[in-house]
Structures are given as C-alpha cells and as structure tokens.
Amino acid sequence: MNDVTRFDVVVVGAGPGGLAAAVTASAGTSSVALIDEGAAPGGQIWRRDVHAGHSLEGREWTAALAKTPVVTLDRAAVVDVESGAGRHRLLVQRDGRTMMVESATVILATGARELFLPFPGWTLPGVLGVGGAQAMAKSGLEVRGRRVVVSGSGPLLVAVAASLAKRGADVIAVVEQASPGMMFRFGAGMIAKPRTALEAMRFLQELRGGTLRFGRWVARALGRTRVEQVVITDGSNDQVVDCDLLCTAYGLVPNTELARLFGCRSRGTGIEVDIHQRASIDGVYAVGECVGVAGVESALIEGMVAGQAAVGLTPSDFVLRRRDQARRWGRKLDEVFALRPEVLGLASADTIVCRCEDVRLGAIDPSWSRRQAKLYARVGMGACQGRVCGAALQRIHGWEEDVARPPLQPVILSALTGSAAGALTGAH
Amino acid sequence: MSDRATCSVIIDGMPFEVDATISVAAALMNAGLHIRRSVTGEPRAALCGMGVCHECRVTIDGERHRRACLTAVAAGQVITRDE
C-alpha cells in the first residue's frame, strides 16, 4: 500500500500549457505523467464538449498526446506535496483513493479560475460564471431557449455569449464594465493580431445588434429560488430585464496554490519564473495562466519551453521571443479590462460574500486581516478554502494572499492509507 | 436531442432519465433542481463549473462531497443531495 510511482517528469494540469509541456517532454523521455482533475484532457478553454467533442486546436493537441507514452491521470487532484533529497512527492486523490507520484521535475500548469465579485442575489441558482457557463454547457447543461445575460469583464464575455447563442440561448444582453474608451483601445490593439480580430468579429456576428454594451454591469439578481430578473446599471440608470441564466465574472485569477505549497515565490499576478519557466524551487516549472493570465498562445509556448528545459534541451531564442510577445498581449489585456471601483462595491452589508459558510459582508470588519476574518467570522473556512471569497475580499478589503496549506482539496479520511496518511499529517 | 443516448440515475431516491454523457451537475440543473442547501438553508446550484467553488457537492454512490461538475453521470448512479 506504500506505492510510490516515479516518473522523469510530472505535469500538473491538462489545459493548453500542460498538454504542450507533456507532449514536448515526452520527446525527450518516455517517463512522463500528466495529472488533471477533469474527466478528460483539455482544461477549461479546450474542454471537450460532451456532444460536439473537442475544438480543432483541442483535438490536435489531445491527439498528439495520445500518440505519446505519457501516462494521463484523469479525475486526479494533487492534495499535498513533500520535497527533499532532490525529488518531489505529490499526494494525489483519485476515485476515493490516494496515491503517491514522485519526480525530480514537476511542471505546473494549474491555470486560472474566475474572479467572482459578490452582489445582491449572486447566490441564486442560475447565476454562473462566464467560463463557468461555458464549462457547464460543454458538460451538457441545456441552454436552448433560456434568457441569458452575460456580464462582468474580459474577452471571455463575447466569446461565451456567442457560444451560448449558437447553442440556442436567447442572449438578451452582454454587459462589459470597461468603458467604451477602453474597448476602443482593445479594438485598436487587435490590428497587431489579425487572427484574434477575426475571431472577435465572428463572435460579434452571433449576437443581435445592440446586445453588447460597455460601461455597464449587473448590480443585482432577483428571484425567489432561482434567478428571474437582473438589474443592469451604468451607475446612474438602472434597467430590469427578465433573465433565467446569468453568466457573470470579472476576469481570471491564477491558480497558484499548488506552486505556493511547493514553496515557490509568487507575485499577486502569478508564479515567478525565469526565462525557461523555472520557478524558485529546484525542479519545479510553471507555465501558462498560473504564471499570469495571458491566453492560450502564451500557455502553449510556455508549455513547450518548460517541456524542453525539463528534459535538458535548450529552447530556441525564436521560441522565447514569441513567448515574450504573447506575455505582452496579456499585460495589454489587464490594462484594458481593469476593474472600475463600482464593481467592487456592489455587495451590501447583508450580501453573502463567503458562500461556503454564509458569511455576510457586514459581519466582516474591514480592518481585519484575512486570518482574523477566518478566526472571527469563519470566512474562508469552508469547502472552497477561500478560493472564491478570498479573491474578492483581497480586492475589496485589501487582504494579502492566503498561505497555501494542505490538503489543497478536501480529503476523505478513508482514502488515506499507510504512508499517504503519514505524509499528510507529517512534516508541515 | 431525441436520438441521444440516455441512462437512468436515482436522485434522492427518485429515478431520472438523463443524457448519458453529461456531468451530474448538468443533469441536476437540467432537471430544474438546485444542487445543495447552504448552511443557512439557501438553495444553491453550480457557480464556477470547474471544481473550484464546491457549490455542486453531492453524494454519489455513497461517496460524500463529490464535485458534481467534475463527475459524469453513469447508468444506475445513486445521487443524494445533502438536504
């Protein structure tokens, strides 16, 4: 029962970054593992649609993966790590059991999650994220005929709205909080990226005229047991629209928990890496959105860079320059979609901000640190371990980043056996 | 939609015919059901759709705290909402 499976390279996360890293590394060694929580590779943006299958790019890379000897561990979550003697051990929970995976080289491609900013009514069933709505639709949520509002911020809004419209949803409104002036800058910037511009135009074609509005946001969701109406505002004028599916999120937050559990340094915007994607802990690399939100191209190139470096190859200057270019695009996006202060102030005192423990904003003293809020009001002590409320309250109350503690996901005690149990209760 | 494969699952002791390829969270929401109740009794359904928020947690085949958005339905699956 004390099995430890060793690999030359372990990749965590099977989105674009992880797929590129695993496929690239497997050109230099046949001993590669790819660990992912989902049911199949693809991550979020390349999530396989249960009916339509993969997108073109997703199919290309998952087909490339299938041609390699990479061992893919689906439905597997890394819950703890232990480093020492030149190797890293990962405790993985999968199908109600735990297993240990070990390697000298770990490539982290843990991606990003959505930023949810609380507002009155956001806990009603039928309120989803934007990427979240896409994920649910790809996993079989029926949206045909549903009255949909997409709101928040970022390039995902239009892309997801178009996708839902193609699935037969009645997309009533797409409201982006960024001002028209900011969006003009975004549009102008796309002259340098014709492929992105073309894609954006294709998305806009799916939407009825007048659907997309800027400088607006959803101030509240109304309904008894599920969302029935939403209030759209520009700060002065409110508009109430019937809606039974609200898709709302304010951009992406990098998933840095696992990297920080290893002890890697991270800035607020992502894990620190050098030019070859090496993080600050020996043998650990990081690529893609968890290094900083910058899109698919960035993740793919960085995955390739890390995959090469991990097997002792030197990435070419050409590839590194393309990587830097892709990162610069990401920073441009941050500027254009910067959040206006109003969307940080939508919650009232009796709006629930910690959904796991039903803690309302008014129960949290603004002068408290994150740790004090946890101890005095239970904020962040629930199942999501502060991933949802923490990101919001960091921006609302100026909290510091949380300390990463194991287990990274709730672990069923009965799943722990022998040395696995010892690892979790041991040296932290 | 009429020629898609379906399967039977049990939700809170009642049989449901669902699309055979979808996630448990999608199946629950397609059936018009909320997924869990919060600590103060609010009905909740999926939010993040990708395993982060844990709003979709249900008991599946006796295993508690499974994230329904990350779990596919299966023939004969027993789904119990923590009510």
pLDDT of B32: 96
Residue B42, classed as helix, strand or coil, is coil
Q: Does the beta-carbon distance from B26 to A131 stay under 8 Å?
A: no
pLDDT of A31: 97
Q: Does the beta-carbon distance from B52 to A412 stay under 8 Å?
A: no
**What is the least distance, in Å, from the CA of A192 to any CA of chain B?**
32
Which chain A residues touch B54 with a CB distance below 8 Å? 356, 382-384, 410
Contacts A–B by Cβ distance under 8 A: 120
pLDDT tens figures, A91-104: 999 988 899 999 99
CB distance A411 to A99 below 8 Å: no
pLDDT of A94: 92
> Given 3-state DSSP classes, what are the helix, strand and coil percentages for chain B, each rounded to the nearest 5?
10, 35, 50
Select from A352, A382, A384 the Cβ nearest to the Cβ of B52.
A384
Chain A interface includes B38 (CB < 8 A): yes
Question: What ranges make up the beta strands (E) of A59-123?
Answer: 71-73, 76-84, 87-94, 97-103, 106-108, 112-114
Chain B interface includes A97 (CB < 8 A): no
A29 token code pair:
């060694």
Q: What is the DSSP letter of A75?
A: T
Chain B interface includes A114 (CB < 8 A): yes
For A223, which residue in chain B has the nearest alpha carbon? B43
Q: Counting beta carbons within 10 angstroms of the beta carbon of residue A146, is it exposed (0 to 12), middle (13 to 18) or buried (19 or more)?
A: middle
Q: Which pTM does this prediction carry?
A: 0.94
Q: How far apart are CA A139 and CA A134, in angstroms?
A: 8
Q: How far is CA A396 from CA A117, A344, A347, in A?
A: 9, 6, 10
Amino acid letter for position A205: Q
Using CA atoms of A180, A182, A188, A190 in order, give the dihedral in degrees to the nearest 10. Answer: -110
pLDDT of B25: 98
CB-CB neighbours of A334 under 10 Å = 14
pLDDT of B81: 96
CB distance A124 to A226 below 8 Å: yes
Query: Which pLDDT band, with edges at 50, 70 and 90, does B71 fall under?
Result: very high
Q: Which residues of chain A have pLDDT under 70?
A: 1-2, 417-428
Q: Does the beta-carbon distance from A383 to B44 stay under 8 Å?
A: no
A297 token code pair:
């191209």
CB distance A180 to A212 below 8 Å: no
Chain A interface includes B44 (CB < 8 A): yes
Chain A interface includes B23 (CB < 8 A): yes
Q: Does the beta-carbon distance from B70 to A141 stay under 8 Å?
A: no
What value of ipTM does the predicted structure carry?
A: 0.97
**What is the least distance, in Å, from the CA of B42 to any CA of chain A?**
8
